Amino acid sequence: MGEEFNPSKPIYLQLIERISHQIVRKELSAGEKLPSVREMAISSGVNPNTVQRTYSELERMGIVETRRGQGTFVTEEENILSSLRENLKEKQVIQFINDMREMGYSDREMVEGLQEYLQKEGDTKHD
Amino acid sequence: MIEFKQVSKRYGTKHALKEVSFSLPTGKVIGIIGENGSGKSTTLKLIAGLAKPSSGEILVNGKAASRRISQIVSYLSESDGFYPFFSVGDMVDYSHSQFADFRPEKANEILSFMKLDRSQKIKNLSKGNRGRLKIVLTLARDVPIILMDEPLSGLDPLVRDSIIKGLISFIDIEKQTVLITTHEIEEVEPILDTMVAIKDGRVICIQDVEELRIQEKAGILDWMKKVYQEG
Is residue A4 one of the residues assigned to a domain? no
Side chain identity at B56, as an amino acid letter?
G
Q: Judge if A103 and A69 occupy the same domain.
A: no
pLDDT in tens, A20-74: 999 999 999 999 999 999 999 999 999 999 999 999 999 999 999 999 889 999 9
pLDDT in tens, A82-125: 999 999 999 999 999 999 999 999 999 999 999 999 999 888 76
Tell whether B204 is within 8 A of chain A (Cβ).
Answer: no
Closest among B231, B157, B208 to B31, alpha carbons compared = B208
Q: Judge if A53 and A83 occupy the same domain.
A: no
Residues of chain A neighbouring B27 (CB-CB closer than 8 A): 49
Does residue B35 contact residue B199 with C-beta atoms inside 8 Å?
yes
Q: Say how far apart CA A71 and CA B199 lie, in whole Å.
A: 43
Q: What is the CATH number of the domain that holds B130?
A: 3.40.50.300
Q: Judge if A35 and A86 occupy the same domain.
A: no
Mutate which: A36, A47, A52, A53, vs B, most B CBs within 10 A: A47
Is residue A26 one of the residues assigned to a domain? yes
Tell whether A31 is within 8 A of chain B (Cβ).
Answer: no
Q: Judge if A15 and A52 occupy the same domain.
A: yes
CA dihedral A66, A69, A70, A71 (to 10 degrees): 40
Q: What pLDDT score does B67 carry?
A: 86
Domain-terminating residue out of A40, A56, A76: A76
Does residue B53 contact residue B7 with C-beta atoms inside 8 Å?
yes
Q: Which of B161, B190, B221 sits opposite A11 (nearest CB)?
A: B190
Q: What is the CATH number of the domain that holds A50?
A: 1.10.10.10
Tell whether B190 is within 8 A of chain A (Cβ).
Answer: yes
Residues of chain A neighbouring B210 (CB-CB closer than 8 A): 10-12, 50, 53
Q: Judge if A70 and A17 occupy the same domain.
A: yes
Residues of chain B neighbouring A11 (CB-CB closer than 8 A): 190, 210, 213
Is residue A6 one of the residues assigned to a domain? no
Residues of chain A neighbouring B222 (CB-CB closer than 8 A): 7-8
What number of C-beta contacts closer than 8 Å exist between A and B? 58
Residues of chain A numbered 85-124 and touching chain B (CB < 8 Å): none
Q: Judge if A85 and A102 occupy the same domain.
A: yes
The range of the structural domain enclosing residue A118 comes to: 79-126
Inspect the interface and report whether the beta carbons of A5 and B217 lie closer than 8 Å: no
- Nearest chain B residue to A54, by CA: B210
Domains held by chain A: number? 2
Q: What pLDDT score does B4 carry?
A: 96
Q: What pLDDT score does B165 carry?
A: 92
Nearest-neighbour CA in chain B from A71: distance (Å): 17
Q: Judge if A57 and A36 occupy the same domain.
A: yes
Q: Judge if A72 and A23 occupy the same domain.
A: yes
Q: Judge if A20 and A68 occupy the same domain.
A: yes
Q: Judge if A58 and A47 occupy the same domain.
A: yes
Is residue A2 one of the residues assigned to a domain? no
User: For residue B63, what are the CA distances in angstroms to A85, B49, B116?
Assistant: 53, 11, 36
Q: Say how far apart CA A78 and CA A86 lie, in whole Å.
A: 12
Task: With residue A92 as reference, give the H or E element that holds it.
Answer: helix A78-102
Neighbours of B162 (CB within 10 A): 18
Side chain identity at A87, as an amino acid letter?
N
Q: Judge if A72 and A87 occupy the same domain.
A: no
Residues of chain A neighbouring B208 (CB-CB closer than 8 A): none
Is residue A101 one of the residues assigned to a domain? yes
How would you write the pLDDT of chain B (231 residues) with one tens digit per residue? 899 999 999 998 888 999 999 999 999 999 999 988 889 999 999 999 999 999 999 999 998 998 889 999 999 988 887 888 999 999 999 999 999 999 999 999 999 999 999 999 999 999 999 999 999 999 999 999 999 999 998 899 999 999 999 999 999 999 999 999 998 898 899 999 999 999 999 999 999 999 999 999 999 999 998 888 875
Going by their DSSP bridges, the two strands B2-11 and B14-24 should be labelled as antiparallel
Q: Judge if A88 and A66 occupy the same domain.
A: no
If 0-12 CB within 10 Å is exposed, 13-18 middle and 19+ buried, where does residue B167 land?
buried
Q: What pLDDT score does A123 carry?
A: 80
The range of the structural domain enclosing residue B19 comes to: 2-229
End-to-end CA distance of chain A: give it in Å, rounded.
Answer: 40
Domains held by chain B: number? 1
Inspect the interface and report whether the beta carbons of B191 and A46 lie closer than 8 Å: yes
Domain-terminating residue out of A56, A76, A96: A76
Inspect the interface and report whether the beta carbons of A48 and B168 lie closer than 8 Å: yes
Is residue A69 one of the residues assigned to a domain? yes
Does residue B7 contact residue B17 with C-beta atoms inside 8 Å?
yes
pLDDT in tens, B151-173: 998 899 999 999 999 999 999 99
Nearest-neighbour CA in chain A from B220: distance (Å): 8
Residues of chain B neighbouring A47 (CB-CB closer than 8 A): 29, 168, 173, 190-193
